């Protein structure tokens, strides 16, 4: 029983640490920054695959050549590429830093989500994509809720309300007159 408790305590601590890390990754939102996971190597080395880059909303007149824009592709995927040219019709010709040619389709401002900041956390995107899966969050929240319930039961047991510790300690059970 003791090994199970140690395992469960370690699992609960790991879940808590994961949630705290998740909060740290989204904390820059308080400063108006939004996170995006880098999915391809088109912008390496500035933004490595698996990194989390941060961007903030931008006005159209603030966009300049060499800015890194974060925009939505037709399929809804977020892409980050550098502005090579601002076209006369108000669209942007963009290119990934590692790509030999510009993207074939200019980007309309309506697709632009924001301008990337210099802040990029390498490898954090792998963690973010894993932890934000519904089943992972559900398991972590279940483990933490169960741990909280057990702690409450133990606390009540110490104060004589419902001695849960007697279930683990056979000597205490005998003293209480329980089989």
Domain boundaries, the chain: 2-20+133-175, 32-122
Higher pLDDT, 98 or 137: 98
Retrieve residue 145's tokens. 């809720």
What mean pLDDT is predicted for residues 22-31? 77
Percent of the chain past pLDDT 90, that is, above it, reads 40
Residue 9 half-sphere exposure toward CB, CA atoms < 13 A: 7
pTM higher than the cut 0.95:
no
Contacts of residue 166, defined as CB under 8 A and 6 or more positions apart, other chains included, come to 157, 172, 173, 176, 178
Poorest-confidence range of 59-73, 85-99, 118-132, 146-160?
146-160
Retrieve residue 32's tokens. 């108006």
**Structure confidence by residue, pLDDT tens digits, 92-117:** 999 999 999 999 999 999 999 999 98
pLDDT of residue 25: 73
pLDDT of residue 158: 57
The CATH number assigned to the domain with range 32-122 reads 2.10.109.10
**pLDDT class of 161 with cuts at 50, 70, 90:** very low
Poorest-confidence range of 18-27, 70-79, 118-127?
18-27
């Amino acid at each position: 029983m003791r090994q199970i408790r140690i395992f469960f305590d370690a699992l609960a601590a790991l879940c808590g640490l994961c949630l705290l890390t998740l909060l740290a990754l989204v904390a820059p939102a308080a400063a108006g920054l939004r996170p995006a996971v880098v999915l391809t190597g088109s912008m390496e080395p500035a933004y490595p695959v698996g990194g989390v880059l941060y961007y903030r909303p931008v006005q159209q007149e603030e966009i300049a050549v060499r800015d890194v824009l974060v925009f939505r592709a037709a399929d809804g995927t977020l892409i980050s590429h550098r502005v090579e040219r601002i076209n006369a019709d108000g669209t942007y010709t963009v290119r990934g830093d590692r790509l030999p040619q510009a993207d074939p389709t200019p980007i309309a401002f309506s697709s632009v989500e924001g301008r990337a900041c210099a802040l990029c956390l390498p490898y954090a995107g792998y963690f973010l994509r894993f932890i934000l899966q519904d089943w992972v969050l559900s398991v972590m929240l279940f483990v933490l809720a169960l741990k909280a319930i057990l702690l409450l039961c133990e606390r009540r047991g110490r104060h004589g309300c419902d001695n849960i510790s007697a279930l683990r300690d056979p000597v205490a059970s005998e003293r209480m007159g329980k089989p």
